[in-house]
């Protein structure tokens, strides 16, 4: 089968655009394949990607656990690393959501309105990859090829905090060869919830177990999401049940093109 | 059995609510109850689908939510004025107003009012605030029997149980359990059920009807709560589905309504908004089957003595917190419970309060403070998935308030005297904050884990990280964790992009 070079990729909708990659701390250390895929995808679409080395973490692990003072360092670091950019893009609905939803409150509490305004402005320029592609670059067909059965878990923070809506679905539907299978009870939480999984391990496991069962029931080869920590949680349980469903980040599918194996 | 019969009404379960174990332990116990888990899943799924269907019918649902939020916010801002206006109009209409600072004072007032009537029993309309203050037990201690007349509350009371849900207190029970409770207990406190009672809902309801009818006909005094109290007219409003409320509100001579001070609505017109928001959000109905509005007394019709006890019990403290006060907008519809994945699995009892679920997780520590273990654990009884925010008819940002309450708990812990033992959490968070304050620290930490994964992966041939020590064992007990990668993203970037520049 010959597949012609997809128009979206040849059109290079990101040509001349400078984008700062917000890798997120967990991806940096635990899932480097995801930010690597983000770089390759954005470059394929014509963007010039920069990675500001000063960046660390969005700070939500602190803020969500109630440690507001401890979160402030992360907010300041984020400001230092990204203030000079017009577009900041991260492969995590959860971390992007935290930047947009919490940074301003934390900055105003700790450093007053002047810093709060600056932080809010940077946050408003921070996008989840799926939003950046669809809303800013205006593409849904990113020229990806992934001939597999895939089911998608819309992570809570992607849907309800970052509010990415159906953009991930739009992008997945445009992937050549991909068979998208609906996940039963898709919008229910997988039970990860950051420190929730440690503070309430039994409830968290019960939720992850139900999610894993729903995933297994689809018969998909891959479980896809826009947040690696949800994938880690669900696939951690799936592995135990030997369901054989592989976790994959949305961006890794989108970055996959015909020549890749 | 002997001790039980010394009481007038069925004894609630052992243990003070405040001494309940903290949430994670309580949840573990509840999770092990498989019958209950099945009942809960079935009930919450049914009711939330129903809600979604009737909410979907209204094109102006978001406008109604905005209106509900705005009215309730205004009530919070001028609560003192509205309360005084209510008192004036309620009194003018022939009612009596009593003010109670806390549960103890409220109970003292109610007990005195019932004693004045010379009665030894009362019938009750289901009410959250009377449960909050544990009024039934206060009456029992004074030799007065308080009978619940809501079907689900009756099941809970006869079952020596606690409510598990705000609107459907016996949600955790199925009908065969209800049949057993009725057969075992009903006859000891009034009219018994027929001997051949089966578990058909119709027949169960029939048995309750006969049992309750006797109590309604005899009662000279009743108590209720109120869903709304209207300042402009001095009216109280109760919505319900079974008609038992209507009986309690109209048949007796004396009616004592116990009402939280946040229940005020400024004007009668405001009801329009809430009589749409509440039934749709709570039971998935377009309208409540019974809506009762009463304003003082009327000669020859209804109770001759009408009292309202306005209860603070921590509410003004909530009002004093500019961020936290949004929780006072709550109209107890329970939509947030029905959508909550945590509530769906553990039920209401694990929350150690009459207010369970997401709203309970914020309201209890707000009303009671953060001194007890259970109140300190409640704000963490959520994965912050945010589903509750979207269904709340008065737009309470529940997950933001959970985080706000978590912060208060953390601050309280930091101030605890040194003899109180704590986990290492504050130190872990401080260390992690140091790592995240500066990328050079993060890189150092990254190096550590790279090394770790190489050593473990290379020497031991592990494909996955094995069991981790506590507290991480809570994770790895139930899940496999993949090995850490050999290279961080940062290092990849340095090798593949920076050097190329
Ligand atoms: S917090 Fe909102 S959703 Fe929950 S019971 Fe109150 S009004 Fe209903």
Q: Is the pLDDT of residue B112 over 70?
A: yes
Give the DSSP letter string of B183-195: HHHGGGSSSPPPT
Residue whose CA is at the smallest distance from ligand 1 atom 8: B333
Q: What is the pLDDT of residue A242?
A: 77
* Mean pLDDT to the nearest integer, B249-258: 97
* Mean pLDDT to the nearest integer, B394-411: 97
Decide: A78 and A58 in contact? Cβ < 8 Å.
Answer: yes
Q: Do A160 and B497 touch (CB under 8 A)?
A: no
Closest residue in chain B to residue A33, using alpha carbons only: B489
Decide: A41 and A90 in contact? Cβ < 8 Å.
Answer: no
Q: What is the pLDDT of residue B459?
A: 47
Q: Is B27 in the pocket of ligand 1 (CB under 6 A)?
A: no
Choose the mutation target among B25, B31, B373, B384 for the interface with A, i.e. most A CBs under 10 Å. Answer: B384
CA atoms lying within 13 Å on the CB side of residue B235: 18
Q: Is the pLDDT of residue B348 over 80?
A: yes
Q: What is the pLDDT of residue A3?
A: 47
Q: What is the pLDDT of residue B451?
A: 56
Taking the CB of residue A214, how many other CB atoms lie within 10 A of it? 18
Listed by number, the residues of chain B in 28-67 with a beta carbon closer than 8 Å to a beta carbon of chain A are: 28, 31
Q: Is the pLDDT of residue B464 over 80?
A: no
Q: Is the pLDDT of residue B97 over 60?
A: yes
Taking the CB of residue B286, how many other CB atoms lie within 10 A of it? 11
* pTM of structure: 0.93
Q: Is the pLDDT of residue B1 over 50?
A: no
User: Residues of A with CB below 8 A from B441's CB?
Assistant: 56
* Mean pLDDT to the nearest integer, B66-71: 98
Choose the mutation target among B48, B341, B482 for the interface with A, i.e. most A CBs under 10 Å. Answer: B341
Q: Is B83 in the pocket of ligand 1 (CB under 6 A)?
A: no
Ligand 1, residues B263, B359, B360: which to mutate, most atoms within 8 A of Cβ? B359
Q: pLDDT averaged over chain B?
A: 91
Q: Do B437 and A54 touch (CB under 8 A)?
A: no
- Closest-lying ligand 1 atom to the alpha carbon of residue B398: 1
Please give the Cα distance from A108 to A117 (Å, whole number): 8
- Closest-lying ligand 1 atom to the alpha carbon of residue B335: 3
Q: Is B361 in the pocket of ligand 1 (CB under 6 A)?
A: no
| 3-state DSSP helix/strand/coil % of chain A, to nearest 5 | 50, 10, 35
Please give the Cα distance from B67 to B55 (Å, whole number): 15
- Band of the pLDDT at B466, cuts 50, 70, 90? low
Cβ neighbourhood burial of A38 (10 Å; 0-12, 13-18, 19+): buried
Measure Cα distances from B259 to B69, B98, B139, B223, B224 in Å: 20, 10, 17, 10, 8
* Mean pLDDT to the nearest integer, B97-117: 98
Q: Is B352 in the pocket of ligand 1 (CB under 6 A)?
A: no
Q: Is B229 in the pocket of ligand 1 (CB under 6 A)?
A: no
Q: Do A73 and B433 touch (CB under 8 A)?
A: yes
Q: What is the pLDDT of residue A243?
A: 79
Measure Cα distances from A16 to A12, A48, A137 in Å: 9, 7, 12
Please give the Cα distance from B324 to A48 (Å, whole number): 44
Residue whose CA is at the smallest distance from ligand 1 atom 3: B392
Q: Which residue has the tokens 């799926």?
A: A130
User: Is residue B384 less than 8 Å (CB to CB) from chain A?
Assistant: yes
Q: Is the pLDDT of residue B463 over 70?
A: no
Measure Cα distances from B311 to B14, B108, B223, B428 in Å: 26, 12, 14, 42
User: Phi, psi at residue B166, to the nearest 5°?
Assistant: -75, -45
Q: Do B406 and A66 touch (CB under 8 A)?
A: yes
Q: What is the pLDDT of residue B115?
A: 97
User: Residues of A with CB below 8 A from B485's CB?
Assistant: 30-33
| Bridge partners (DSSP) listed for residue B481 | B465
Cβ neighbourhood burial of B24 (10 Å; 0-12, 13-18, 19+): buried
Closest residue in chain A to residue B476, using alpha carbons only: A236
User: Is residue A202 less than 8 Å (CB to CB) from chain B?
Assistant: yes
Q: Is the pLDDT of residue B175 over 80?
A: yes
Q: Is the pLDDT of residue B419 over 60?
A: yes
Q: From the CA of B51, how far away is ligand 1's center (Å)?
A: 13
Cβ neighbourhood burial of A73 (10 Å; 0-12, 13-18, 19+): buried
Residues B28-39: pLDDT tens digits? 999 999 999 999
Give the minimum alpha-carbon distance from B148 to chain A in angstroms, rounded to a whole number: 32
* Mean pLDDT to the nearest integer, B166-189: 94
Q: Is B334 in the pocket of ligand 1 (CB under 6 A)?
A: yes
User: Residues of B with CB below 8 A from A197's CB?
Assistant: 383, 474-475
Q: Which residues lie below 8 Å from residue B426, measured CB to CB, with a gap of 6+?
A: A67, B410, B413, B414
Q: Is B339 in the pocket of ligand 1 (CB under 6 A)?
A: no
- Closest-lying ligand 1 atom to the alpha carbon of residue B332: 5
pLDDT tens, N- to C-terminus, chain A (261 residues): 444 445 544 568 989 899 999 999 999 988 999 999 999 999 999 999 999 999 999 999 999 999 999 999 999 999 999 999 999 999 999 999 999 999 999 999 999 999 999 999 999 999 999 999 999 999 999 999 999 999 999 999 999 999 999 999 999 999 999 999 999 999 999 999 988 998 999 999 999 999 999 999 999 999 999 999 999 999 989 988 877 899 999 999 999 998 776
Q: What is the pLDDT of residue A120?
A: 98
- Closest-lying ligand 1 atom to the alpha carbon of residue B357: 4
Q: Which residue has the tokens 């578990």?
A: B199
Query: B453 is written with which tokens?
Result: 């994964």
Decide: B469 and B495 in contact? Cβ < 8 Å.
Answer: no
Please give the Cα distance from B337 to B44 (Å, whole number): 8
């Amino acid at each position: 089968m010959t597949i012609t070079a997809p128009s979206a990729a040849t059109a290079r909708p990101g040509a001349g655009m400078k984008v700062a990659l917000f890798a997120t701390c967990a991806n940096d250390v635990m899932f480097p394949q995801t930010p690597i895929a983000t770089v390759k995808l954005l470059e394929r679409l014509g963007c010039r990607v920069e990675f500001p080395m000063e960046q660390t973490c969005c700070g939500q692990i602190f803020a969500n656990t109630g440690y507001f003072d401890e979160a402030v360092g992360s907010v300041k670091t984020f400001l230092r690393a990204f203030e000079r950019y017009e577009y900041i893009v991260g492969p995590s609905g959860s971390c992007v959501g935290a930047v947009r939803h919490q940074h301003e409150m934390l900055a105003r509490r700790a450093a007053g309105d002047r810093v709060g305004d600056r932080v809010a402005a940077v946050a408003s320029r921070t996008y989840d990859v799926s939003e950046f592609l669809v809303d800013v670059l205006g593409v849904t067909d990113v020229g990806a090829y992934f001939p597999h059965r895939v089911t998608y878990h819309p992570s809570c923070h992607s849907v309800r905090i970052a509010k990415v809506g159906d953009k991930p679905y739009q992008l997945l539907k445009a992937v050549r060869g991909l068979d998208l299978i609906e996940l039963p009870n898709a919008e229910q939480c997988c039970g990860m919830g950051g420190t929730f999984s440690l503070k309430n391990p039994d409830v968290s496991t019960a939720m992850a177990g139900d999610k894993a069962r729903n995933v297994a029931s689809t018969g998909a080869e891959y479980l896809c999401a826009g947040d690696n920590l949800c994938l880690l949680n669900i696939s951690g349980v799936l592995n135990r049940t030997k369901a054989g469903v592989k976790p994959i980040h949305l961006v890794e599918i989108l970055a996959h093109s015909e020549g890749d194996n | 059995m002997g001790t039980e019969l010394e009481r007038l009404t069925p004894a609630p379960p052992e243990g003070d609510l405040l001494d309940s174990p903290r949430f994670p332990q309580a949840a573990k116990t509840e999770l092990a109850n498989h019958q209950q888990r099945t009942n809960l899943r079935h009930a919450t799924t049914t009711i939330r689908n129903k809600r979604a269907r009737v909410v979907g019918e209204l094109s102006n649902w978001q406008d109604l939510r905005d209106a509900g939020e705005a009215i309730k916010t205004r009530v919070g801002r001028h609560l003192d004025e509205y309360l005084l206006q209510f008192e004036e109009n309620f009194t003018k209409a022939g009612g009596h107003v009593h003010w109670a600072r806390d549960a103890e004072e409220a109970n003292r007032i109610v007990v005195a009012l019932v004693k004045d009537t010379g009665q030894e029993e009362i019938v009750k309309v289901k009410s959250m605030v009377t449960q909050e203050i544990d009024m039934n037990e206060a009456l029992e201690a004074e030799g007065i029997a308080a009978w619940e007349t809501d079907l689900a509350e009756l099941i809970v009371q006869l079952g020596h149980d606690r409510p598990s849900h705000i609107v459907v207190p016996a949600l955790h029970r199925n009908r065969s359990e209800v049949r057993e409770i009725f057969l075992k207990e009903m006859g000891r406190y009034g009219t018994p059920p027929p001997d051949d009672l089966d578990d058909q809902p119709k027949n169960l309801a029939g048995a309750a009807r006969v049992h309750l009818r006797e109590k309604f006909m005899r009662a000279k005094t009743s108590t209720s709560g109120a869903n709304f109290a209207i300042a402009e007219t001095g009216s109280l409003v109760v919505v319900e589905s079974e008609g038992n409320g209507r009986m309690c509100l109209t048949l007796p001579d004396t009616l004592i309504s116990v009402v939280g001070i946040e229940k005020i609505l400024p004007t009668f017109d405001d009801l329009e908004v809430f009589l749409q928001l509440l039934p749709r959000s709570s039971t998935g109905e377009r309208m409540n089957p019974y809506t009762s509005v009463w304003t003082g007394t009327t000669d020859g019709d209804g109770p001759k003595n009408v009292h309202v006890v306005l209860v603070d019990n921590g509410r003004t403290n909530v009002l004093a917190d500019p961020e936290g006060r949004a929780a006072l907008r709550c109209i107890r519809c329970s939509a947030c419970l029905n959508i909550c994945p945590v509530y769906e699995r553990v039920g209401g009892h694990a929350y150690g309060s009459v207010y369970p679920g997401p709203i309970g997780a914020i309201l209890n520590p707000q009303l009671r403070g953060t001194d007890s273990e259970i109140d300190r654990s409640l704000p963490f009884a959520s994965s912050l998935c945010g589903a509750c925010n979207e269904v709340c008819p008065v737009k309470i940002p529940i997950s933001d308030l959970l985080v706000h309450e978590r912060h208060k708990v953390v601050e309280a812990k930091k101030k605890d005297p040194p003899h109180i033992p704590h986990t290492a959490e504050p130190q872990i968070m401080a260390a992690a904050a140091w790592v995240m304050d500066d990328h050079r620290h993060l890189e150092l930490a990254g190096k550590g884990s790279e090394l770790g994964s190489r050593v473990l992966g290379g020497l031991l041939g592990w494909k996955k990280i094995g069991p981790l020590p506590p507290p991480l064992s809570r994770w790895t007990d139930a899940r496999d964790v993949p090995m850490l990668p050999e290279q961080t993203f940062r290092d990849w970037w340095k090798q593949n992009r920076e050097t190329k520049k």
